[in-house]
Amino acid sequence: MNYRLGIDVGGTNTDAVIIDEGLDVVSQVKVPTTSDVYTGIMNAVRAVLASGCINKRDITMAMLGTTQCTNAIVERKNLVPVGVLRIGAPATAGIQPMTDWPEDLRKVVYKSAIIRGGYEYDGKELNPLDEEAVVAFFSDIKGHVDSVAISGVFSTLRNEQEARAGELARQVLGPDVHISLSSEIGSMGLIERENATILNAALNKVAKTFTQGFEKSLREEGLDNVSLYLSQNDGTLMSIEEARRYPVLTIACGPTNSIRGAGYLSRLSNAIVVDVGGTTTDVGALQNGFPRESGVAVTIGGVRTNFRMPDVISIGLGGGSIVRVHDDGSVTVGPDSVGYKITSEALVFGGSTITATDVAVRLGLADIGDSSKAASIDEAVARKAMDVIRGKVEEAIDSMKLSGADVTVVLAGGGSVIVPADLKGASEVIVPPHSGCANAIGSAISKVSGYYEKLVSYDEIEREQAIKLATNEAVLAALDAGAKMDSVEVVELEDVPLQYYPGNMVRIRIKVAGDLA
């Protein structure tokens, strides 16, 4: 029997699970997240191995959803100096790189230049790439940086110039230089794409350190047989080599993992997921197995990128939410919470604060701690508090729904006991086993993806044929990344015409995803 190890680092807890070949949970643990993240991960790994009673050699895959890159950017720690080359002059000179970056983070860029080149919206060249200027820039920064970020106007349409500049960078700066190309990292919108590309290049050392550290530590724990993967914000996995090249893609993977994990545990691909923590509840939507995306761009450490987050609403309700009875007899729940002190402050744990958890115990929804201590809550108060909880959750669910029809609701997270099982607007409410660790499970069951992008002329090849060939290439990439052949499916396909470009040119982009073999 082979097993996989899933780890998810959250703000409060680090979760780890071991699941078997049938993707059933064998063991799960929750330990506090540490400020260095790494120690918490290793504590979780040791604890889950200790409780799992399985042969370490049988663990063949380990998936990690981590906040290390996010933290490095937010805390401005261990970032390396970057040389930034933008291809597009005379256009774009009116916005220098990092114009709206926070002062302290701007320092990460050693030097930047905007040189001639780039494309128009229809794929025509704005200017040919100024190779002399490229070489001059890289010669100038040689010896000062080991990491470069290259962006180009409309490079998501055509990336030949970015690729050529990358080749020249390697010739000038040597084979070991890290090169981040914007066309491989972001989508349309030059500044946000460039921002993400610079951050990616600056994370080069962090990525190297944490991937090597993770790898080495797992080996030391006796997991010699394991392939490592990192969670991305789109719910798919990267190999450790890819994570070293594109570390910035690991940011914001947390909510994605929770929603996908809850979906997996309930064997559903469409549902509303209610993830109840100690202080807040995140409500998200699972659509065809993936979280529904929000329109809001991810801002990280004060820098705007064009990555998308899952569409999640957070409400101030959790297992530790404080219940108050007011003079007029009304009862409120939250938004403040005793948080991680629940194990000492809640009534059922011998404390003196009425929490949402105490109310659930009082009404017999949960059996936690010393239930006799919850008996001191007046039943009418408990019922009123439960009505408030129910109202908050029902409203959040309703605002995530796409139509008036009832939906299946999946409860997850450590605090889910406070939510009643009969919710208005829900056709059924499911609390799958192990849902407390849905996030780590989401990490463990992630798929691997394959990506392919090409400019083709529909005058030379028929659309259907071109898409078929491109799909094959993407599938090969997914297989290369470790996907099981029969599980691979297309998750994203677009063919965008390059208007006014001779020969009916289109850009085909295709992304496929499949289960790990």
Residues that bind another protein (CB under 8 A): 88-96, 99-100, 118, 120-121, 124, 126, 153-154, 188-191, 285, 292, 295, 304, 311, 313, 335, 395, 398-404
Report the nearest approach of another protein to the CB of residue 207 (Å). Answer: 28
Whether 116 and 129 have beta carbons less than 8 Å apart is answered as: yes
Angle between helices 131-141 and 160-173 (to 10 degrees): 40
Report the nearest approach of another protein to the CB of residue 86 (Å). Answer: 10
Strand ranges in 328-406 using DSSP code E only, listed in sequence order = 331-337
Residue with smaller CB distance to another protein, 399 or 504: 399
| Whole-angstrom distance, CA of residue 93 vs CA of residue 83 | 17
Residue with smaller CB distance to another protein, 127 or 232: 127
Residue with smaller CB distance to another protein, 390 or 484: 390
Angle between helices 68-75 and 204-220 (to 10 degrees): 140
Whether 285 and 291 have beta carbons less than 8 Å apart is answered as: yes
Report the nearest approach of another protein to the CB of residue 304 (Å). Answer: 8
426-430 vs 59-65, strand pairing mode: unpaired
Report the nearest approach of another protein to the CB of residue 18 (Å). Answer: 35
Residue with smaller CB distance to another protein, 393 or 470: 393
Whether 162 and 87 have beta carbons less than 8 Å apart is answered as: yes
Cα-atom radius of gyration of the chain, to the nearest Å?
Answer: 25
Strand ranges in 360-480 using DSSP code E only, listed in sequence order = 407-412, 426-430, 447-457
Residue with smaller CB distance to another protein, 40 or 263: 263
Residue with smaller CB distance to another protein, 118 or 320: 118
Report the nearest approach of another protein to the CB of residue 511 (Å). Answer: 20
Report the nearest approach of another protein to the CB of residue 274 (Å). Answer: 16
Residues in the chain: 517
Please state, in angstroms and as integers, the Cα–Cα distance from residue 78 to each residue in 36, 72, 205, following that order.
12, 7, 7
Report the nearest approach of another protein to the CB of residue 260 (Å). Answer: 18
Residue with smaller CB distance to another protein, 135 or 322: 322
Choose among 31, 432, 95, 34: nearest CA to 268: 432
